[in-house]
Amino acid sequence: MRTKAFALGTALAVAGMMMADAANAQSAQGVTTAATGEIQGLSRERLVRIAPVMKEQIDKGMFPGAVTLIARHGQTVHFEAHGFLDAAKSTPMTKDALFRLASMTKPVVSVAAMMLVEQGHIKLNDPISNWLPELKDVKVEIRKADRAPEDVPAERPITVQDILRHTAGFFYAGSVPSSRLKELYDKHGIEAREVDITGDEMLKRLGAIPLVFQPGTVWHYSIATDVLGLLLERVAKKPLDQLLKDMIFDPLGMKDTAFWVPAEKAARVADALDSDPQKATMMKSYRVLANPAGKSYFKGGAGLVGTAEDYLKFAQMVLNGGELNGRRLLAKKTLEFMLSDHIAGLGGTTVATTGAGYGFGLGWGVRLHDGVAWVPGSKGDAMWAGAWGTSFWIDPKEGLVGILMAQGPSNRVHTRMLFKNLVYGAMVR
């Protein structure tokens, strides 16, 4: 009897030790534990800081509301709605709110391009004029202080790589060192601000306007991804909205991401404050409540609308090396290649768009140093942001995704950096 009791006690003791060891192992992996108050290595107490800071920004008039989302090691550790959906601050923000993603469209279209590269339809060193003959004979404006500008032939063709990494010589009208070229973009509706313009017509007009730099020499943020979207349409022989749906949105389950918002979802569209100085002008470029098909082209550089939860699926797929929930979109090596610096040794700087310390890959800003930047992060993290106030990044070293959805264009850099400080400030291991 005593032998049996001893054996039973020993067995219970061993089981207890095994359970303790398992709990310790889980804690070491960053799984939530009551003792530490952590979730995937982020402090619950520190994550609580996010909501009052967002409220403070809303009270200051930075934006009406926001949605914040953080995932680590594939687990969502923070997902909250803050403030209001509308400019009048009458409707509470919801987690499924739809935001104008603006330039956060670019990484999505860039992934689609690299999927076509993997499939053998295009190569990075191919001239884009293979599919866009309208851009075959582009000129380049040469500017000298003591004489009028001169237009000269391009020294080499614009390549697919150039339009993926913004080295084609295109520009945005608001950031070009030539008043003449700005006037030409505005006159011909290249950015489709106040007029409807088809993709074919846009390319025809664009081909007659000189580039601001020789192709492949200077990084200059531009309409290049709009051109990429039109190239993908011709390669795949289908509209960009359908191409992205087939290749990315449906496989990843991004059910609320599209180039326009149907009537039944219109009440979920987040707005910027009427007091925001940039709102009125930007609204002319981001008309999202009607399908632009047949009237204007789908803007591969700025046209999408979507939710934080949808964008997490896309970002997590990239962080996972091209796969999510058993669906592989890209190979691991292709993603590593995309998120490498592709502008080393070239002119230009990404500081105005990424902050200090970043280079640029194929559709993404990529961090070059652990230091130098304006906020914490890791060498190799990749990010992009939208002019309406949305931003996201992935940090492969830390297994981290951060997403901020807001519509506050005039304050977008400030709020982006603020949120990154809050996220990294919550990371305790």
* pLDDT of 27: 34
In a domain, 325, yes or no: yes
* pLDDT of 359: 97
* pLDDT of 17: 41
Q: Which of 200, 234, 268 delimits the end of a domain?
A: 234
Pair 194, 87 in one domain: no
For residue 257, the one-letter residue type is: T
* pLDDT of 195: 62
pLDDT, one tens digit per residue, over 126-147 is 999 999 999 999 999 998 877 8
* pLDDT of 250: 98
Pair 151, 75 in one domain: no
- For 367, phi then psi, to 5°, come to -80, 130
- For 409, phi then psi, to 5°, come to -60, -40
Cα distance between residue 277 and residue 58, in whole Å: 16
Is residue 336 within a helix (H) or strand (E), and if so which, with residue range?
helix 332-338
pTM score above 0.95: no
Q: Which of 234, 252, 281 delimits the end of a domain?
A: 234
Pair 327, 372 in one domain: yes
Give the distance from CA 76 to its chain's centroid: 19
* pLDDT of 194: 53
In a domain, 403, yes or no: yes
Q: Are 320 and 327 in contact (CB under 8 A)?
A: no
* pLDDT of 286: 85
Cα distance between residue 199 and residue 220, in whole Å: 22
DSSP 8-state class, residue 248: I
**Terminal Cα distance for the chain, rounded:** 50
What CATH number has the domain bearing residue 419? 3.40.710.10
Cα distance between residue 290 and residue 116, in whole Å: 29
Cα distance between residue 385 and residue 311, in whole Å: 12
Cα distance between residue 305 and residue 303, in whole Å: 7
Closest CA to 215 of 255, 258, 167, 179: 167
In a domain, 1, yes or no: no
Residues 6+ apart with CB under 8 A from 55: 82, 83
* pLDDT of 11: 43
Cα distance between residue 325 and residue 340, in whole Å: 25
Pair 184, 75 in one domain: no
Q: Which of 208, 234, 260 delimits the end of a domain?
A: 234
Domains identified in the chain, total number: 2
Pair 230, 249 in one domain: no
Residue-number span of the structural domain to which 167 is assigned: 115-234
In a domain, 18, yes or no: no
* pLDDT of 175: 87
Pair 147, 286 in one domain: no
Pair 78, 190 in one domain: no
Pair 70, 136 in one domain: no
Residue 375, helix vs strand vs coil: coil
Pair 144, 246 in one domain: no
- Could you say which residues of the chain have pLDDT below 70? 1-36, 192-195
